[in-house]
Amino acid sequence: GAGVSQSPSNKVTEKGKDVELRCDPISGHTALYWYRQSLGQGLEFLIYFQGNSAPDKSGLPSDRFSAERTGGSVSTLTIQRTQQEDSAVYLCASSLAVSLPSTDTQYFGPGTRLTVL
């Protein structure tokens, strides 16, 4: 596609429910990144994928967070038993990154705004 797309754009959920966020990277981009941004804060790295594998899961805040990527394209970030502190904008980015490590520019999607009541 023309750019990184994410869905849903907004998600309101009740505490304790599970949510699934989707990211569709730029076609041909092999690297995919998930970040979290709380209001007025910088970006917090969560996880990245090179192809379908995730070499670094150290940024995931807890075991309630998981992510997968299939077919080297679409990725889903799942948050189980959501808590109010999970409320944030979840941003996905992709880069060409034919091989890692890479300094290739990351292109961001519009984000999913998650609100946990």
Partner 1 sequence: GQNIDQPTEMTATEGAIVQINCTYQTSGFNGLFWYQQHAGEAPTFLSYNVLDGLEEKGRFSSFLSRSKGYSYLLLKELQMKDSASYLCAGMDSNYQLIWGAGTKLIIKP
Give the binding site for partner 1 (CB under 8 A): 4, 35, 40-45, 48, 56, 91, 100-103, 105-111
CA 79 → CA 75, 100, 104, 116, distances in Å? 13, 27, 28, 11
Q: How far is the CB of 19 from partner 1 (least distance, A)?
A: 19
Q: How far is the CB of 87 from partner 1 (least distance, A)?
A: 16
Query: Least distance in Å: CB of 81 to partner 1?
Result: 27
Nearer to partner 1, 74 or 100 (CB): 100
Nearer to partner 1 (CB atom), residue 37 or residue 80: 37
Length of the chain equals: 117
Pick from 60, 78, 64: which is nearest to 23 by CA?
A: 78
Distance of closest approach, residue 13 Cβ to partner 1, in angstroms: 20
- H/E stretch holding 43 reads strand 43-50
CB of 72 or CB of 110, closer to partner 1? 110
CB distance 75 to 49 below 8 Å: yes
Q: Closest CB to partner 1 among 7 and 80?
A: 7
**Residue environment code for 32-47, b if the CB has 16+ CB neighbours within 10 A, otherwise e:** bbbbbeeeeeeeeebb
